[in-house]
């Protein structure tokens, strides 16, 4: 399929973070863009404000009539059910219907493609890398799975020769890509509803890694069983972060590459996991020839990603942080960062589990990671694309937690419960619609303080 011949692009599931980045991209290059999503959100509101028409009812009569032409591309998200009437309408009439990952593969096949893979860290690493390349003057477009604060968008740049993409393991999507340089940040078990076993996930990552034939252009952490250049913090590796200090809330550190020492770098995202994400991005940028000066400037100016350890309130009396974490490993990373920055302070975590299947598969891990906080409020499970599973609920998770300071809270009561709490550090965590509640929580906490 030749994208140059495509005039219209219709999205089914346009409000997803990956889908909306593609929508922005096609709008930026002059295509007619519109779409459907199940529910309104902050993302769909931003797209509508940019001039993209979106409706929220599965109804073929709501599709603009000028999209009923041959040169229309229809892009679907894997979360859309096969019974979706709009999807079936386009399939039955032999339109160009493609998954998001397939379209990314088409866009990137004629570019120099950086691909960031891993069950955790994809969005942060690709954001840092995209920012470094853009700030260095590269002709880059970066498709990001989060809203980058520097750009207030999940799309960085509109370049035609270089792309940065998140290589998503969900539904084996990353196997559609043809990367020139890649990294793998982690290979933890996840998406077991798709893969079945952790071995199947690892096999899929190995297949992705095999796409990089020059192993000096594949970057992995030291604990991963993959061939490539190793990255580490405070241990021997091809790319190593060391001499790490904290100064005025920022990390200050050195990086040793295979050929040189880069000293006195500054980076503002807290947590050792984010230091590793930055190191991965630097390793890929250095391999592509980006200068130390450009890397130094970009790391220092990077503001982070919305809902990735995102400060909502930060003063002497109260800290409120919002984070997208939805896997035990990610929750542990949030906890590590909070304890490092705010030792001795009471930390309240509000967690909304995401998916019945993920909660069931990692119930013990969730219980352990959440129990590390001083106090925990649990919301009910956000189902997303799933139907309820008998016995899998937040009461089950609560019962497995060893922390005695815990309770189930409804969304209706959440703000009042937070306001009544005496914690000086508050963290909202989860990938569901808890993110939609952040503005009101922030507003009410500011009013109280």
326 is in an annotated binding site: no
119 is in an annotated binding site: yes
Write out the two tokens for 374. Answer: 């001083």
Q: Cα dist. 360→6, 79, 326, 390, 428 in Å?
A: 43, 19, 13, 10, 21
365 is in an annotated binding site: no
- C-alpha to C-alpha distance for 385 and 172, rounded to whole angstroms: 17
Write out the two tokens for 237. Answer: 């590796």
289 is in an annotated binding site: no
122 is in an annotated binding site: yes
* Residue whose structure tokens are 């091809």: 238
410 is in an annotated binding site: no
Write out the two tokens for 251. Answer: 């990390």
Residue closest to 194 by CA, chosen among 179, 173, 224, 176:
173
Q: Are 353 and 325 in contact (CB under 8 A)?
A: no
- C-alpha to C-alpha distance for 268 and 250, rounded to whole angstroms: 4
123 is in an annotated binding site: yes
Instruction: State the SS3 of the chain.
Output: CCHHHCCEEEEECCCCHHHHHHHHHHHHCCCEEEEECCCCCHHHHHHHHCCCEEECCCCHHHCCHHHCCCCEEEEECCCCCCCCHHHHHHHHCCCEEEEHHHHHHHHHCCCEEEEEECCCCHHHHHHHHHHHHHHCCCCEEEEEEEEECCCCEEEECCCCCEEEEEECCHHHHHHHCCCCEEEECCCCCCCHHHHCCHHHHHHHHHHHHCCCCCHHHEEEECCCCCCCEEEEECCCCCEEEEEEEEECCEEEEEEECCCCEEEEEEECCCCHHHHHHHHHHHHHHHHCCCCHHHHHHHHHHCCCECCECEEEEECCCCEEEEECCCCHHHHHHHHHHHHHHCCCCCEEEEECCECHHHHHHCHHHHHHHHHCCCEEEECCCECCCCCCCCCCCHHHHHHHCCCCCEEECCHHHHHHHHHCCCCCEEEEECCCHHHHHHHHHHHHHHHHC
- Binding-site positions read 118-124
- Binding-site positions for ATP read 118-124
């Amino acid at each position: 399929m030749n994208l140059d011949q495509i005039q219209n692009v219709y999205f089914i599931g346009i409000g997803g973070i990956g889908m909306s980045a593609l929508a922005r991209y096609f709008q930026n290059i002059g295509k007619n863009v519109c779409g459907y999503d199940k529910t309104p959100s902050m993302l769909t509101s931003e797209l509508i404000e940019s001039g993209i028409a979106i409706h929220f009812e599965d109804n073929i009569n709501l599709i603009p009539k000028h999209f009923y032409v041959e040169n229309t591309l229809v892009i679907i998200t894997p979360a859309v059910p096969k019974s979706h009437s709009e999807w079936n309408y386009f399939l039955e009439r032999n339109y160009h219907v493609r998954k998001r990952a397939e379209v990314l593969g088409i866009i990137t096949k004629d570019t120099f493609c950086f691909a960031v893979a891993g069950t955790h860290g994809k969005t942060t690493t690709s954001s840092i890398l995209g920012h470094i390349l853009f700030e260095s003057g590269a002709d880059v477009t970066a498709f990001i799975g989060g809203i980058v604060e520097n750009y207030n968008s999940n799309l960085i740049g509109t370049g035609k020769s270089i792309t940065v993409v998140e290589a998503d393991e969900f539904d084996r999507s990353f196997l559609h890509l043809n990367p020139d340089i890649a990294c793998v940040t982690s290979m933890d078990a996840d998406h077991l509803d798709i893969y079945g076993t952790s071995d199947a996930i690892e096999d899929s990552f190995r297949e992705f890694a095999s796409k990089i034939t020059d192993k000096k252009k594949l970057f992995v952490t030291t604990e991963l069983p993959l061939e490539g250049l190793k990255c580490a913090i405070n241990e021997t590796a091809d790319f190593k972060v060391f001499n790490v200090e904290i100064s005025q809330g920022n990390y200050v550190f050195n990086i040793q590459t295979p050929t040189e020492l880069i000293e006195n770098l500054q980076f503002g995202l807290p947590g050792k996991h984010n230091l590793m994400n930055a190191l991965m991005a630097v390793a890929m940028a250095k391999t592509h020839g980006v200068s130390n000066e450009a890397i130094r400037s970009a790391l220092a100016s990077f503001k982070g990603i919305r809902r990735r350890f995102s400060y909502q309130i930060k003063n002497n009396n109260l800290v409120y942080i919002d984070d997208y974490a939805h896997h035990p490993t990610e929750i542990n990373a949030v906890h590590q960062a909070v304890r490092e920055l705010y030792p001795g302070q009471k930390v309240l975590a509000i967690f909304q589990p995401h998916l019945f299947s993920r909660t069931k598969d990692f119930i013990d891990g969730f219980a352990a990671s959440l129990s590390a906080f001083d106090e925990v409020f649990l919301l009910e499970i956000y189902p997303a694309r799933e139907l309820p599973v008998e016995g899998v609920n937040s009461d089950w998770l609560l019962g497995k937690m060893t922390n005695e300071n815990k309770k189930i809270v409804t969304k209706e009561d959440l703000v009042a419960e937070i306001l009544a709490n005496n914690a000086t550090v508050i963290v909202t965590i989860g990938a569901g619609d808890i993110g939609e509640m952040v503005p009101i929580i922030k507003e009410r906490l500011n009013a109280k303080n």
